Amino acid sequence: MAAIATASTAGQTVIERIAGWYTSTMSPVPLHLVEHPLVHDALIQLRNTATAPPEFRSAANRISVLLAAEALRDVPSVSTTVETPLGRADGRAVKGDVVVVPVLRAGLGMLDAVLELLPSARVGHIGLQRDEATAIASKYYSKLPSNLADSFVLMIDPMLATGGSAAAAIDLLKSAGARVIRMICIVSAPEGVALVEQHHPDVVIYTPAIDKHLNEHKYIVPGLGDFGDRLYGTA
């Protein structure tokens, strides 16, 4: 992905270069499986039925920070120089607008962790409710920042099950002008990954796990249960 961000196209911003690369690419963007051992340490704690809500929230925070760091590897940055107590130091700083969009309600459990990495990020919210009988997602809330066309958008949703909610949320982001979108999720199902890649092959998914399948109730197996219920102690 670093090669995309550094491609030389005169007169274009980094966001425009990344968006242009996606437009000219015919094959789906590869899924990024995150293999960091600390990610998987947090994941196994989240899966464990013996993990109580306080420990669940702590593990969710840890894994969210690590996944966000992976997804933001190619966020636009610029060279800069600062004064340390002992002299001048060269380095790089994030440059450009980053927008974090949790999918309600479970995505809120990942938001604070991402903002620890990027306190200056703007935040939008998308509320989608899945019909338990049909598994079809319907929108009940959407509040997005302006000027998403020039933003690096990070969508956060812990569970990618059928993919219907994710695809609908991405539809809303693109309708609002977003061109560069990353998605992080903690557990995925093959069905959900396939649906997002079918409808939005330009959106890169970062996840540490693709589980076996969905059950008859459209829950991920083996998964970790209902993320929101376990996070807030409402199971």
The CATH number of the domain holding residue 115 is 3.40.50.2020
Q: Is 229 designated active site?
A: yes
pLDDT at 233: 84
- Asked if residue 13 belongs to a domain, the reply is no
Question: Confidence band (pLDDT; 50, 70, 90) for 1?
Answer: very low
pLDDT at 96: 83
- Asked if residue 108 belongs to a domain, the reply is yes
- Asked if residue 5 belongs to a domain, the reply is no
Catalytic residue among 97, 112, 150, 226: 226
Distances (CA, A) of 119 to 72, 85, 151, 221, 226: 14, 25, 15, 35, 28
- Asked if residue 202 belongs to a domain, the reply is yes
Residue 90: both structure tokens together: 């060269």
- Asked if residue 64 belongs to a domain, the reply is yes
Q: Name the residue among 158, 167, 164, 161 with its Cα closest to residue 207.
A: 158
Question: Confidence band (pLDDT; 50, 70, 90) for 13?
Answer: very low
Catalytic residue among 47, 130, 150, 171: 130
For the stretch 42-84, pLDDT in tens is: 999 999 999 999 999 999 999 999 999 999 998 989 999 999 9
pLDDT at 136: 67
> CA-CA distance, 158 to 184, in Å (whole number)?
7
- How many domains does the structure of the chain reveal? 1
The per-residue pLDDT of the chain, averaged, comes to 86
Of all residues in the chain, the percent with pLDDT exceeding 70 is: 84
Catalytic residue among 6, 41, 131, 229: 229
pLDDT at 168: 92
Quote the domain boundaries for residue 70.
27-79+91-232
Q: Which residues contact 31 (CB under 8 A, 6 or more apart)?
A: 193, 197, 204, 205, 207, 210
- Asked if residue 12 belongs to a domain, the reply is no
Q: Is 112 designated active site?
A: no
Q: Is 74 designated active site?
A: no
- pTM across the whole model: 0.82
Is pLDDT above 70 for 7?
A: no
Q: Is 157 designated active site?
A: no
pLDDT at 26: 38
Catalytic residue among 13, 25, 80, 134: 134
Q: Name the residue among 99, 78, 194, 189 with its Cα closest to residue 145.
A: 99
- Asked if residue 86 belongs to a domain, the reply is no
- Asked if residue 20 belongs to a domain, the reply is no
